Structures are given as structure tokens and as C-alpha cells.
Amino acid sequence: MRNRSIIILLGITLILACKKNTNGPKTTENKKDRELILRYYADSIIIPAYDTFKTEFDLLKSSAENFAANPTESSLAALRSSWTKAYIRWQTVELFDFGPGEKYTLRNFYNIYPADTTGIKNNISNTSANLEVPASYPQQGFPALDYLINGVGQDDASIVAYYTDLSNGNKRTAYIRRITDRMSTLLASVMNEWNGSFKETFVSKTGLDLNSSTSLMVNGLVLHYERYIRSGKIGIPSGAMLNGTPAPDKVEAFYRKDISLALAKSAHKAYVDFFNGRSFISGNQGSSLKTYLDALDARDNTSGKLLSQLINEQFVLVESKLDLLQPNFHQQIISNNDPMKNAFNEMQAAVRMLKVDMTSAMSITITYTDNDGD
Amino acid sequence: MMGIKGYFDRVTSIAPLVFFRVCFGLMLMFSIVRFWANGWIHSLYIEPSHHFSFYGFEFIAPPGQYTYILFALCGLSACMVALGLFYRVASVLLFLSFTYIELMDKSTYLNHYYFISLVCLLMIFLPANRSFSLDVLRNKRLEAGLIPNWNIDALKLMLGIVYVFAGLAKVNSDWLLHAMPLKIWLPARNDMPLIGPLFNYEATAYIFSWIGCIYDLSIPFLLLNKRSRPFAYFTVITFHVLTSLLFPIGMFPLIMIVAALVFFPARVHQHIISRLQSLAGRPKNITEDRSIYRNPALVRWIFISFFAVQLLFPLRYLAYPGELFWTEEGYRFSWRVMLMEKAGYAQFTVKDKTGKRTVVNNTEFLTPLQEKMMSTQPDMILQYAHILRDHYADKGFVDPEVYVDSYVALNGRLGKTLVSPAVNLSAQTESFKPKNWIKPFNDDIKGF
């Protein structure tokens, strides 16, 4: 008797459940397969993105070597141009702060700003200075190169003179080499792991517990958006964070100045593309956080809109605010800080959706905690 | 019809009670060892610089490095309870130490720890050391083969209350009509061997939700009934093993599987005990001892009032306006288990009249677990705001004001503001009154 009533109840439930599903195709099972998503991310975005970055970086490295061997205004211009291109391209891989990228803390050695100019000067005279410790982060990577090729003189002639100086010029060019060599080695380590056995490890850890690939990846991504796009590029220099005091000298690429918007846009676009699974090779969309959220049917019940759509709409809103900014954030903050704050506010709304709505829908615990305060 | 007096006079074998005592003590010991081995004493009670005490129990806080001694004391008393050694002292000590531990920080609150605390309290008044114990070995006169039947019924009632209230809590529209939060949690386990692929189907979440609800509501009754008991106990094992595979719920499945044994008749317990005794080379049959233990008259009234409170306390949420899942006013201590997927984000701003202003970095004050718990629970948000108020007052802020920008998602709904951002939390006080600074939920979860 009791068994029968349970069966009846189950039957009713099944009918209810099936009825609910008639409004969408029920071929979503494999779209919930995290192994497929992880493999797609590794093959179609992460590994090709590193490859593309490496091409740009190698150009930077060779032009740095040219400049170091023969500092002239023209080799400086060449170096500056390849540095700019590589820096913009760097934004498309900085977000991979999980797996090897996290293991080698690539971001810490590549892009912690503002640059520590005193430390850089000390390192130039002390050729055995330790570049592995946290204090050395802002003394290397793109921000240090920014200072070294844009900030050591008033104009190109005086910058070249800084490197042709008879007593110190060689040490200075040697430091440029040291930094680019170091960046090259680190990048090679990270890429070797992705091209080696790590990829299969990454793809095989399909769970959603603390040490699973999806969890580590999503935690890294949410952290990236919150701390390195929202706070680093916009929130901290504009003073929208913390005590409200603008700090225009904390913009990314402070010495070059006019590429801060390009860097922010590159980072944001890379993020949106990653979310939507836009292949680095074909440009088409594939398995991604977006398709996973859609397969889970994560949506706003009041409007019926998919969560992925709402997140994408918010991304578009952020981009529209970025479009209103000058190429030079330093100038933007000094002349009119409000558009910066507006961009920050839209990014803040995106952070909430990523950090709360997305992770909750995916049943992922946010393990990193916020440290927007220091 | 048996009269009330007749009911309280009826005696039964002590075997189920002493077997329960041994299992319960051993499980608690294991629990403490596991807790210790996982390094949780340090990470949950010593490492955090601030703690979330319970309202009315603010004097209870982790005693620094002595927390290890507290746990050792708890483990030791659990061991003594299992052995039945100095039982009166040991059971009081076990209740006090365990409850103290649970009251130290509400971010570690778990319903089954509350259950253990309550059972520890009951065990103080039950004659669980009157057989198969070192106390009896020391003092033969303590031994009793028979005890009032209601002593064992009390444990069954306690278990029944847990299950039935846990079941009632599932009778709500999120759980039954939307299969939430299982619809979110199950696909997260779709990579499990064998059963994993099932979790890709929405229907599975519905089936699990309904079975879970029916299971909780019916299992105490099925365990009471002699004919359905074997089937019911088999279900208990299946259900709890499955949940332990699916969710990180620690000791809970084991505790329930072992505790449910109390529903079996005395001869089953007697059989196990005899086996244990013959292993120890002292075969003896408890049921042969015909001496009867009678509880002091006061104990009956203690139990009656205890259960009256237990039946009413989980219903206190009815006294609050607003949605229980959203405000969590009356949520704890009510057997509401695994009902919510709730995630939140809370960013605090502290400012004062002199123009000082800072956005708080939560990691400076809280552990990741504390931050996670705090960001979705209004009473903890208030407590944290007060921690911040006091901290920044020491730092030179004049009458600091604390505001929170909060965003909380519940059971698949999009996130929204939990706490009114315009309210200065440093001026709000904790009480049992409804918190009018919680923003309305603007949705309806029907049911219990």
C-alpha cells in the first residue's frame, strides 16, 4: 500500500518535471559535461592564447635585445612598439591564473603595478638582486619595462642617453635583458606544462570541489575580474575604492599613459570571450561557462532571461562605459573622474553577478576572499 | 488503553540504552579525533581573530590555545561515557564541553551538532551506566536490568522530532515544486561513477526532493512499526550513505545510522552486547538481571518540559514577518537541513563625521568560512558591523558608522540586496525582535 503511494507520487513528480522541460530542447546533457568544457577551454582558448602571446612576446624580447645591444632612438621606438603590442596581448592570458599560471604566479612577475622605481634602480646596480620574492614583483615585468623605456627621461634622446651613459649604461641595458629573459623563462615553464601532462590533469579533474579544475578556474576568473580588472585598472586609480582619494599615478602603464584604455579593453574583451567560449583559433563560440549555465537553465525567474544573457548584457554595459573614457586614464582621472567611477560601478555590478549568481548557480564555493583594502 | 501513569510505570530492558551509550560515546570520540586530525581546532577556533557568538551567550568564546584542552576534555568525557566510567560526572562534562564548543562560533553551526548537544543533555538524566559499564564493575549495587520504558522512548522521540521537523521544513514550494536546491547541487556531481549521469536530468532532482521529504516525514513511524522496521532501517542506511556520497556533511550520516538502532527491540541490543561481553570473556545476559531502576520523580518533569520546548522551538519562525529563508530569523535550532543554496557578497564601508572613510577588507577580520557565512546571514552581518565599529573606533574614527553593500542569491534566484544600504548598522542592536533593516524578499516561498 505504502509502496504503491510512493510510486504514484514519483509518477506525478516525473510528469511535473517533464512538463516543465517541454519549453526547451532536452539535449543539454552533454553540455553539462565539464570534461568537454575543460578540454575546449584548454585546446581552443588557453593554449592558443599563450601561443599567440608568445609570438608577440618573442618580438618584444628580440627588440629588447636589439635595443640593449645598440640603444638608439630607432631601436627604442621599435622596442616601445613591440612592448605595447605584447602588453596588450598579455591581457588575453593574464586571466588564466589557475593551473600553471597560478603555480608560477605568472601575473605577479608580469604585471604588478605601479612600478617600484627605487627598487628597479637598486636592481640595476645590484645584478644579483633576488627577483623571486614578493617585494620584487613591481620591479619586473611589463610595468618595469614601462618605466625603463618611457620613464627614465623627458624625451627619446634623454632616454637613449640613459642607456648610452658610459659608466652605467651597460648595467641598465643588462637589466632590461634580465627582465625579458626572466619573463621568457617563466612563460616557457607555464606553456610547457599546458603543452605537457598538465592539460590531461586539468581535463580529468571534473568535480566541483575545492581542488577541481572548474572550481579553481572559476575562482581564478572571478578574482581576476574583481581584483585585477575592476580594482586594479579602474577602482584604485580612480579612488572609487577605498577612501575615495584618486590616485592617478596608479594607472596601468603609467609612464606610457596613453595605452591604459587599450589595456583595459583588451583585458575585458578577453574575459568576455572566455566566458562565451570564443575560440582563439576560429572565433566561433564553443563549450564554455555560458553554455554550462544555459544547460543548467540558470535564469532570472521573474524576467525569464538566462543568467548568461544577463551577464553578457552587463559586460556590454561595462564596455559602453569604457568607450566613454580617454585612452589615457591618468589624464581622465585628473580632468574628469566621473566616467571612471561610472565604469567602476558597472564593473561592480558584473562582479556581483559573477561572484554570487554564477557561482551559486554552478554550485561552486568561492574560496578566495576579497582583499580590496590594502 | 494504557493510562498515562501506566505508561510511565512500564519497564523494559536496559540493553538498548546501554548500547546507545556505548555507540554514542564512541562516535563522539571519533568525531573529536577527526576534528582534531583535520586541523579544524586551529583553523576554526584559534586562527580567526574574531568570533560570532550566539545572542545571550556572548561570554562563550574560544579560550585560545586552551581550546585543545577543551576538545581533549570533550573527547575524554565521551570515552568515559562509552565505558560507563564515572558516568554522572562524565555525562555532565560531555554535555558542557560539547555545547561550549558548539556555542563558540555560530559560523560553524550544524544541526547535527545541536542534536548531539541535546542528546548529551538527555543522557545526563538517563541511567545509561546501570549495566555493561565500568561503574557497575566498580559497584555491583548500581546494576539494573530493567528501566522505565519511557527512558528509551525519549531517545526515539528526540530522533523522531529531528526527522519530522526536517521533513516538514522540506514541505515548501522551493523544495517540492522547484526541486531547489537539489536542482543546483545534483548536476555538480554529474561526474560521479554510475549514478552521475542521472544528475543531468532535472527529473532526478524532483525525485530526490520528494523522496527526501517523504523519507524524513515517515521514517520515525516506519521504524516504530515492527513489520516495517527492517525495510525502514535499510532505507536509513541507503539514504544516509547516498547523502554522504553526494554532499560534504561529515559525521551526520553515521550518527543517524547508529542512532536509529535504538528503534530495534531489546533482544537485538542484548545480542550485540552479549557478543561483545563474550569477546571480553565475561558472558552475561543483561535481561537476566531483574532489578529495576526508577528515575527520580523530577526527571520525568524535566523530560516533559524539555520535549515541550523541543516541539515549540522550531516553530518560533512563525512569530517573525518576512520570508524565513531570507531573514533566517528563527532558522537555526529548527532542523532545517540542506534547504538552501545561498551565496552572498557583503562589502562594508566605515565612515565618521570627521570625513574619515574606508572600504573594509573582510580578510583582515574574518576567515573565508566566516566571511561566507556572514555574507548571507543578517544577524552575523550585524555582529560583524559591530566588530568593525569597535575596531575603527579604536583606530581614531569618531562614532564610526557602518554601512553594508550586500547581495545575496537564494535557491537559484538572482541576487538582490539583503540589508538596507542606508542603515547605519553600528546603531542597530541585536535582539529577538524582527530586524527591520533587512530588505524585503519580494518573493513567496510557500509552505513550512
ipTM: 0.89
Instruction: For residue B201, list chain A residues with Cβ-Cβ distance below 8 A.
Output: 29
Contacts of B173 (CB under 8 A, 6+ apart): B444, B445, B446, B447
The predicted model scores a pTM of 0.90
B318: which 3 cell numbers?
Answer: 512563525
Claim to verify: residue B30 and residue B125 sit in the same structural domain: yes
Whether B163 is in a domain gets the answer no
B444 touches chain A (CB under 8 A): no
Write down the pLDDT at residue B393: 96
What is the spatial distance between Cα B147 and Cα B34, in angstroms, rounded to a whole number?
34
CB contact at 8 A, A31 and A308? no
Asked whether residue B142 is assigned to any structural domain, the reply reads: yes
Find the angle CA(A188)-CA(A190)-CA(A192) to the nearest 5 degrees.
65
Examine the fold and report which residue of B274, B292, B310 is the final residue of a domain before the chain moves on. Answer: B292
Q: What percent of chain A has pLDDT over 70?
A: 89
- Say if CB B374 and CB B382 are below 8 A apart: no
Task: Judge: A362–B190 Cβ closer than 8 Å, yes or no.
Answer: no
CA B232 to chain centre: 23
Q: What is the Cα–Cα distance from B423 to B401, expressed in whole angstroms?
A: 9
Residues of A in contact with B188 (CB under 8 A): 208, 362-364
Q: Is residue B387 part of a domain?
A: yes
What pLDDT is recorded for position B279?
Answer: 83
The residues facing B344 across adjacent strands are B408
Q: pLDDT averaged over chain A?
A: 90
Q: Would you call B203 and A6 a contact, using CB atoms and an 8 Å cutoff?
A: no
Residues of B in contact with A14 (CB under 8 A): 203, 206-207
Q: Verify that B400 and B276 share a domain, yes or no.
A: no
Are residues B379 and B276 part of one domain? Answer: no
The reply to whether B168 falls in a domain is no
Among the partner-chain residues A14, A368, A369, the one whose CB lies closest to the CB of B203 is A14
Nearest to A207 among B191, B207, B342 (CB): B191
Mutate to test the interface with B, among A13, A37, A206 (most CBs of B within 10 A): A13
Which residue in B171, B180, B200 has the most chain A C-beta atoms within 10 A of its own C-beta, making it the best mutation to test that interface? B200
Structural domain range at position B57 = 11-147+264-292
* Chain A residues lying within 8 Å of B409, measured CB to CB: 356-357, 360-361
Number of H helices, E strands in chain B: 18, 5
Whole-number pLDDT of residue B274:
87
Does A319 score more than 90 pLDDT?
yes
Assess whether B143 and B269 both reside in one domain: yes
Q: Which residues of B239-275 are buried (b: 16+ CB within 10 A; e: fewer)?
A: bbeebbebbeebbbbbbbbbbbbbbbebeebbebbbe
Residue B328: inside a domain: no
Q: Is residue B327 part of a domain?
A: no
The one-letter amino acid code at A32 reads K
Closest CA–CA distance from residue A213 to any residue of chain B (Å):
13
As for how many domains chain B has, the answer is 2
Residues facing residue A278 across a β-bridge:
A285
Residue A175: pLDDT over 90:
yes
| Chain A environment of B345 (Cβ under 8 Å) | 351-352, 355-356
Within this chain, do residues B18 and B122 fall inside the same structural domain, yes or no? yes
The answer to whether the peptide bond before residue B63 is cis (omega within 30 degrees of 0) is no
Identify all chain A residues contacting B414, using CB atoms and an 8 Å cutoff.
300, 302, 307, 310, 353, 357
- For chain B, 448 residues long, the average pLDDT of each consecutive 10-residue run is 80 95 96 94 94 96 95 98 97 98 94 95 96 92 94 97 97 96 94 92 96 97 96 96 88 92 94 86 68 92 97 96 94 94 94 89 92 95 97 95 96 95 96 95 90
Q: Among residues B386, B373, B371, which one has the least CA distance to residue B424?
A: B386
DSSP alpha helix (H) spans, B171-318: 173-177, 182-185, 202-224, 229-246, 252-259, 266-279, 297-312
Are residues B393 and B285 located together in one domain of the fold?
no
Whole-Å CA distances, B58 to B115, B383, B427: 21, 11, 19
Q: Inspect the interface and report whether the beta carbons of A14 and B206 lie closer than 8 Å.
A: yes
Smallest CA–CA distance, residue B168 to chain A, in Å, is: 17
For residue A16, what pLDDT is reported?
45
Q: Does one domain contain both B286 and B142?
A: yes
B268 in the same domain as B131: yes
Residues B375 and B288 in one domain: no
Shortest Cα distance, chain B CAs vs residue A297, angstroms: 10
Are B138 and B65 members of one domain?
Answer: yes
Considering only the beta carbons, identify the residue of B190, B357, B360 that sits closest to A373.
B360
Based on the domain organization, do B420 and B274 belong to the same domain? no
How many CB pairs below 8 A link A and B? 127
Name the strand (E) or helix (H) holding A321.
Answer: helix A307-323
- Is position B35 within any domain? yes
Mean pLDDT of A64-88: 97
Q: How far apart are CA A299 and CA B66, in angstroms?
A: 49
pLDDT digits (tens, 9 = 90+) for A240-274: 876 678 999 999 999 998 999 999 999 999 999 99
Query: Whole-angstrom Cα distance, residue A250 to residue B67?
Result: 45
Cβ-based contacts of B371 with chain A (< 8 Å): 369-370
Q: Is residue B314 part of a domain?
A: no
Do B284 and B365 sit in the same domain of this protein? no
